Structure 1
Amino acid sequence: MKLLIKPLVASIALASAALAQADGIVEGRIIDAASQTIYKGAVVRLEEAKRQTLSGQAGRFRLPPVPAGDYTLTITLGDKTLDSRRVTVIDNDVTSANVVVNEGDDIIDEVLVFGQAARMQRALDRQRYSDRIISAVNADAIGELPDSNAAEALQRIPGLSIERDQGEGRFVRVRGMGSDYNSVSINGTQIPAPEAGTRSVALDVIPSNLISSLVVTKSLTPDMDANSIGGAIEIESISALDREGPFYNADLEYSYDELTDNTNPKLSLGGGTTLALGGERRLGIAAAASYESRDFGSENTETGGKWDGDELEEMEMRDYTINRERIGAALNLDYEHDINNAFYLRTLYSEFSDDEQRQALVAEFQELVIEDGEEERDGTSRASGDSGLGEVARELKDRKETQTIKSVTLGGEHFINDWTVEYDLGMSSAKEEEPDSMDSAVFTADVDNIGFNGSKKPILFGSELYDASNFELDEIERVHSHSTDDMNVAKVDITRDLIVADYPAMVKFGGKLKSRKKHMDVDIRKYEADDISMSDYVSGSVDYGLGNFGPALNDSQLRALMNTLAADSEAEAAAVAEGFVDSLIEDYTIEEDVNAAYVMGRIDMDELQLIGGLRHEQTKQKSKGYQINGDDNEAAVSRTHFTNDYSHTLPSLLAKLDVAADTQVRAAWTNSVVRPTFEMIRPNVAIDGDELEAGNPYLKPLESSNLDLGIEHFMGNAGVISAFAFYKNIDNFAYETDVANDAYYNSLAGEEDTTTTTFENGTSATVKGLELAYSQKFATLPAPFNGLLLSANVTFVDSKATITSDDGDEQLSRTISLPKQSDTTGNLVVGYENDTISLRLAANYKSDYLDEVGNLEDSSGDIKQSSQTQVDFNASYKLSEQLKVRFKAANLTDEPYYTYQGSEQYNAQYEDYGPTYSLGVSYSSF
């Protein structure tokens, strides 16, 4: 840390030296006297000085210091001028310029406040006046996000696409980078990940009625965490200080799932109030809660990429029935002691549970072979329409998984003359628990006459598949798993506003301490018993729309059988021994501390703004797990301990040039670093003879140097046309591979020639792309067409990475695209709104992408996800100023999830979800 002190001291000295420069500050608050609306996001400008800012929380604004003198202060919102007045700035003083709109008889009407165009305009204003390259989605009112969750709202932004779970948007990818390589924070505090092995956070856990805005930063400044290569996603929640007096919202919604014919409720409540405590003191209290219970399902047929040319080795059909329940709550407190001193408390609680049953019909195709003069069955591949021998399993998975996220952040902001001091303390925790999962109950049979039809949606056939008496119990696997991710953060930022050569400037410096602990604990037990027929454990048949599935395994009867076996001491002991290795190899603890300090400066020289600085991050990792040599309870077990320390100094330079009144050019050179996922660095080694499977605790972090160049032209009401090019050079790209005959792994296994499946760093990867965007409200058209809105964007991305693997004495390598990266993503939104009705038809497209690398020799074994186009529709109708009716239709075209091997005709996985329709009503007062 000593290396960090010198630049901080130098920056303080520079700021202190500027105290002799005479300057003044203009600050104030904007409120509508008629509607008691707080104008957050309005553009505040000192015309002669060419200085502007956006009004923030509580409608507050504070302009950069300017020389003493008289100026014209204008307030605009969208294409409307709310106020224009003369103000006098005094040397070394603060000029208060509170703006009250609609105070007299001259009422300003048709101001963009709520609705589609208002959200677009707020987002564009924020994008235009930001120091960074950002994209934003603004909600502006409680419950006003038109998409069902944050992830699905973010997919409308250029360069962003989402990963879905059972048809619902959960994880976000930015500019081709997977969700593990983008950071997610709420009100400035990073959120830990409940799921084991990952760093990414599902974005469907945040109650939509709490969201004020979603911001994606694509060019980091030194005062931001450097842990994102694609982008940093910031979720901002509402503040009661953004309203005057009490406000509330209640939203009740019922959805209909067409595939399963289920109806599901969703309820959200939100509100708050602002209390005047005397003088300038104000206390804002805002709270929100939501509940959703959804019964739905999906139908699946998959091969897992087991094709050999036109023939298939094995496949399975799956049917899912799921109850997904979400509970979310938040309480936010904002205390404004006076115009210069404010404190806040942000809290979040989210609980997400999946109660899932999965029926599976699994087949491995076989043929008779002669071995030592005797006939035996051996695996083979088979063409569509052919039939023959096979080993078939019927499986039931019955598990309830619960994820919980808790977050508390306490902070403050203080203006002391030309200084600004900001700080916060954050504590957050996440956990995922499966308390008693029947991970699989498996019944098997050897059959004589089975096959499949089709290659894109293969379906099994054969009369013996559907007779339960043919199947006997093979195994029941019981799992208890518990993973936690705890994080504590302390941060301070200090800003000194100053004037350099008559230009507004600032120096900012600060530091951050972040401590994180990821823990995983799994207990697996495997029960076996003889002569148990499947006939006694079925009820009815599986409702499977893709083909004939046959009898359905009964979960309650199988759980009773599992509990009976567990009560038998010998069976329980055997189950523990059978699951011993699988249990320990999943257990680990990783502690990670990241300490950071930075210094940066900004200067506004008329039409040109420059930002430059350095960020230094030190990372310390400690991990412990298990090394297991052998099988079952006879395996040799030892503890593993690893440490890995490294540091990075990350410079950046950003520029913004106003080439015309409504046109600006941006350029940025930034550097970022992303730590590998916990799954990659887990400290566990499993040894089975000369074959090993291991994490890599010494894996290097990904380091990315990023270039951005773009132009934006803003066009009045909610209008923009923009183009951004970007290039990323990524060192230490991480991937899974096989390592042959490595001296270290040879020593662990006690063998001379081993093969280890682990994670390695590649040399480098590159990502380059182009983002194009356009949006506009056609307010100049004659009524009723003046309510028409259009938004469109498309992003083209090209990436290359080289991966290698050992194949005996030969090292294989080839160049691939980054996994999870579509070459083309695009959005088209056509909207219409007037005083009572709002309509939106949205289409989202992403081209096919590499999902999983098959082998290193060629791409024939690669698994790719097919291109997808999803169409959604939203409509709302105002019955009164407070009462609104909403209708939503998601996945109107019934777009499936489809992955394939090599060529698109060869299925790896096909899954169908069907459309979902919802009808809701909301009552609000704000």
Structure 2
Amino acid sequence: MTPFARNRLAACVVLACSSSYSYAAQTNDYNEIEEVVAVASPIKDSQKAAIMAKQSASNFVDIVAADTIGRFPDQNLADSLGRVPGLAIERDQGQARYINFRGAPFRYTTIAIDGMTIPGAENGRIPRFDSFPSVITSRLSANKAIMPDMPGESIAGFINIETFNPFNVEGFSLATDVGLGNQALGDGDISKFSVRTSWSGENVGISLFASQNSREQITDNREFDLEQEDSELVVNELDMRSYKVKREDEAYGGRFEYRPSDSMNRFFFSTLYSKFQDHEERNQYVFDFAGGAEAAGSNLAAGETGTGLAMVSRSLEYGLYENSTWTNTLGADLQLGDWFLEARTNFTKTENDVFLPLPYSLYGTAVASYDVTDINDPLVTLAPGISLNDIDYGYEMLLVYGSALSIDSLQFKLDAETDFTFAGLNNTFKMGLGHDQREAQGYGTNGGMGSLYGINPSDYVTDQAWHTDFTNSINGTYFDNKQLRADLESASGGLTVTPDNASKINIDENITTAYAMVTNQFKWGSLVSGVRIESTDYTSSGPEGEHSDTFTEVLPSVNLNIDLSDQVKFRAALSTGMSRPTYNEWRASASIDTTEQTISGG
């Protein structure tokens, strides 16, 4: 029900009660007084509760409620978090992907779902937020000041995604979201669908949810290789690209919770599967005017405009970026005397795969002119009589790039908390133990080259002109990249990436943690002090051996909160953290280049 409708209904109730009161008063000749109280509430909005939680928090945290997230036109949590002050988004082709706090590296931010840390989809450390749809969320907590009960890798910040609890709504509930739209550039379709249902009784609660989003778009860009020579601009190379992109994400999951009667205890199991796919078609031409001048035995003239021979290369692609997360948590909250215990067991599997086959044509030549007077709309124009699709290429080949990483994480966590009084002050003591056992397998980015199996990419050109807000001065048209990929798969018997030994990843990592913290409550505010200890034991196996190491870090922290008034707080924090190497950096393998006399590896 909309706010207007609810308020209008409340007004009708008040009017009806007023009429009833008048009738009763007249029939009783005012000898009896009947009081009627009409109560109306606005639309449910948990944002007020989120603000109150932020005000009462023991650290500097921003909290975004589910009701507020639902009003954003966001398909994933990266977009939603980008609205929080102090958080920045890195976008890929216009869509939010990574989050950082105050400009710090992405790996300095950790992510958790219902308090359980999720390994990063890329390199085991870098969390991707575009794989999590907004529908799964009950509340987002973006901690900008770290406390001892948070992971030590949270150097810049710690983001906790709280999923929907069926006991949040009494009885049966159903929420759904359906949206359709269109991208102006490229006439791409947008669809959005989510549904969440729940039921809660006196002791049992169940919730289920599903989400599917799809977005088609065309992204084009122009890249340059420019330099200054005697205060004049030299145009070495102009790169013109147009991408057809289709991005899809889906999520499924639910929660079962049992709460015994007459107790504060609860037992639950939750599961979430989320998958993101990025289907990408590339159409790219590179015009190398510096290389053309060198081939012609002349010098490249300086200036924002010019005409000359250009070496032309072309790359086409229909590739896939894919990542997924499957996380399962079994938990129990128990009140044992003066102690409140939280026990959790979690299994999470994250996977990240990239596969990019690129038919690559090079050593083409064409006479062309360039104009970068308007740097926001650079132009390349072929000489009269030359068509872009008639350029002959001296060499054509197939490049195949790929990477893969799979991480299995098994976590155990126990937190205990109790209140106590000391020196007339109310205090809280909290401590915890945890263990995270991770196994990572895969390989870093690998590239290989081969033939096109007799297939001519020029046979797949279409007459569909590029959709662009730039000037399509080269008269670029799209290729049927999907059919080209299918024919290459058929002719080759299946396109694959064979990783070399230098890029393989095989790591066992065990992280054992313990912490203790005390919250002292004063009339003027609170002081939270404590320490966290993290011990890391890892083994990295490679083709010629393995490497093992163990190290322990002690991470103290202090959070100060001062109530300057009912509306103003002063917060200060001092914390320590640690950053472990990525799995790619930790791999026990290396490659030797005898020509360059270099060794590179983990």
TM-score normalised by length of structure 2: 0.85
Partner of 1:355: 279
Partner of 1:782: none
1:657 aligns with 2:566: no
CA contact (8 A) 1:322 1:356 kept: yes
- Cα deviation for residue 388 of structure 1 reads 1.8
Matches of 1:532 and 1:210, distance apart in 2: 46
- Cα deviation for residue 543 of structure 1 reads 1.3
Matches of 1:606 and 1:585, distance apart in 2: 60
- 1:295 corresponds, among 216, 239, 246, to 216
Matches of 1:259 and 1:153, distance apart in 2: 23
Matches of 2:586 and 2:280, distance apart in 1: 29
Partner of 1:61: none
Partner of 1:392: 312
Matches of 2:561 and 2:227, distance apart in 1: 53
1:552 aligns with 2:552: no
- 1:239 corresponds, among 165, 172, 176, to 165
Partner of 2:335: 415
Partner of 1:429: 349
1:505 aligns with 2:432: no
CA contact (8 A) 2:97 2:129 kept: yes
In the alignment, residue 619 of structure 1 is paired with which amino acid? T
- 1:447 corresponds, among 341, 349, 365, to 365
Partner of 2:44: 113
In the alignment, residue 622 of structure 1 is paired with which amino acid? T
Give the alignment of 1:93-132 within 5 angstroms: 106-110=37-41, 113-114=44-45, 119=47, 121-132=48-59
CA offsets 1:486-509 (integer angstroms, 9 cap, x no match)? 211111111122111232112221
Pair 470,424 (structure 1): closer, same or farther in 2 beyond 3 Å: same
User: Alignment partner of 1:123: what SS?
Assistant: helix
Partner of 2:234: 311
Partner of 1:882: none
Pair 650,535 (structure 1): closer, same or farther in 2 beyond 3 Å: closer
Matches of 1:200 and 1:368, distance apart in 2: 41
- Cα deviation for residue 693 of structure 1 reads 5.3
Matches of 1:358 and 1:672, distance apart in 2: 41
Partner of 1:401: 321
User: Alignment partner of 2:370: what SS?
Assistant: strand
Pair 249,693 (structure 1): closer, same or farther in 2 beyond 3 Å: farther
CA contact (8 A) 1:179 1:200 kept: yes
- Cα deviation for residue 612 of structure 1 reads 1.3
Matches of 2:453 and 2:326, distance apart in 1: 46
CA contact (8 A) 1:619 1:645 kept: yes
CA offsets 1:639-696 (integer angstroms, 9 cap, x no match)? 3533343221111122222233333322222111122333444444232223435244
In the alignment, residue 655 of structure 1 is paired with which amino acid? L
CA offsets 1:559-605 (integer angstroms, 9 cap, x no match)? 355346525xxxx9xx99xx87x744432223322111111112213
CA offsets 1:724-756 (integer angstroms, 9 cap, x no match)? xxxxxxxxxxxxxxxxxxxxxxxxxxxxxxxxx
User: Alignment partner of 1:254: what SS?
Assistant: strand
Matches of 2:291 and 2:515, distance apart in 1: 66
Pair 519,441 (structure 1): closer, same or farther in 2 beyond 3 Å: same
CA contact (8 A) 2:131 2:249 kept: yes
- Cα deviation for residue 399 of structure 1 reads 1.1
Partner of 1:200: 126
CA contact (8 A) 1:187 1:346 kept: no
Pair 146,297 (structure 1): closer, same or farther in 2 beyond 3 Å: closer
Partner of 1:727: none
State percent identity of aligned pairs. 25
Matches of 1:216 and 1:364, distance apart in 2: 46
Matches of 1:367 and 1:274, distance apart in 2: 70
In the alignment, residue 227 of structure 1 is paired with which amino acid? E
User: Alignment partner of 1:386: what SS?
Assistant: strand
In the alignment, residue 517 of structure 2 is paired with which amino acid? M
In the alignment, residue 109 of structure 1 is paired with which amino acid? A
Partner of 1:622: 539
Matches of 2:356 and 2:559, distance apart in 1: 54
The alignment's C-alpha RMSD in Å is 3.0
- 1:209 corresponds, among 135, 139, 150, to 135
In the alignment, residue 396 of structure 1 is paired with which amino acid? L
In the alignment, residue 596 of structure 1 is paired with which amino acid? T
- Cα deviation for residue 377 of structure 1 reads 6.4
- Cα deviation for residue 383 of structure 1 reads 4.0
1:609 aligns with 2:526: yes
Pair 654,105 (structure 1): closer, same or farther in 2 beyond 3 Å: farther
- Cα deviation for residue 616 of structure 1 reads 0.7
Give the alignment of 1:698-777 within 5 angstroms: none
In the alignment, residue 583 of structure 2 is paired with which amino acid? F
Matches of 1:295 and 1:154, distance apart in 2: 23
CA contact (8 A) 2:218 2:467 kept: no
Matches of 2:44 and 2:291, distance apart in 1: 71
In the alignment, residue 288 of structure 2 is paired with which amino acid? E
In the alignment, residue 64 of structure 2 is paired with which amino acid? V
- Cα deviation for residue 110 of structure 1 reads 4.3
Matches of 1:334 and 1:379, distance apart in 2: 75
CA contact (8 A) 1:354 1:400 kept: yes
User: Alignment partner of 2:488: what SS?
Assistant: helix
In the alignment, residue 386 of structure 1 is paired with which amino acid? G
User: Alignment partner of 1:258: what SS?
Assistant: coil
CA contact (8 A) 2:121 2:352 kept: yes
- Cα deviation for residue 199 of structure 1 reads 1.8
CA contact (8 A) 1:358 1:398 kept: yes
TM-score normalised by length of structure 1: 0.56
Give the alignment of 1:533-552 within 5 angstroms: 534-545=457-468, 546=470, 547=472, 548-552=474-478
1:592 aligns with 2:509: yes
Matches of 1:530 and 1:415, distance apart in 2: 68
Q: Which runs of 5+ in 2 are unaligned?
A: 1-5, 7-34
Partner of 2:598: 692
In the alignment, residue 520 of structure 1 is paired with which amino acid? G
Matches of 1:658 and 1:531, distance apart in 2: 75
Q: Which runs of 5+ in 1 are unaligned?
A: 1-34, 36-103, 277-281, 626-637, 697-926
CA contact (8 A) 1:290 1:327 kept: yes
CA offsets 1:333-373 (integer angstroms, 9 cap, x no match)? 22111432111222111111111111010122246789xxx
CA contact (8 A) 1:426 1:490 kept: yes
- Cα deviation for residue 144 of structure 1 reads 4.4
Pair 537,123 (structure 1): closer, same or farther in 2 beyond 3 Å: same
- Cα deviation for residue 111 of structure 1 reads 5.5
Partner of 2:25: none
- Cα deviation for residue 201 of structure 1 reads 2.0
In the alignment, residue 92 of structure 2 is paired with which amino acid? D
Give the alignment of 1:256-275 within 5 angstroms: 256-275=182-201
User: Alignment partner of 1:313: what SS?
Assistant: strand
- Cα deviation for residue 398 of structure 1 reads 0.9
Matches of 2:452 and 2:319, distance apart in 1: 22
Pair 360,142 (structure 1): closer, same or farther in 2 beyond 3 Å: closer
CA contact (8 A) 1:141 1:212 kept: no
User: Alignment partner of 1:345: what SS?
Assistant: strand
Pair 181,389 (structure 1): closer, same or farther in 2 beyond 3 Å: same
- Cα deviation for residue 233 of structure 1 reads 0.7
CA offsets 1:737-782 (integer angstroms, 9 cap, x no match)? xxxxxxxxxxxxxxxxxxxxxxxxxxxxxxxxxxxxxxxxxxxxxx
- Cα deviation for residue 150 of structure 1 reads 1.7
In the alignment, residue 426 of structure 1 is paired with which amino acid? N
Matches of 1:128 and 1:564, distance apart in 2: 61
Pair 244,686 (structure 1): closer, same or farther in 2 beyond 3 Å: same
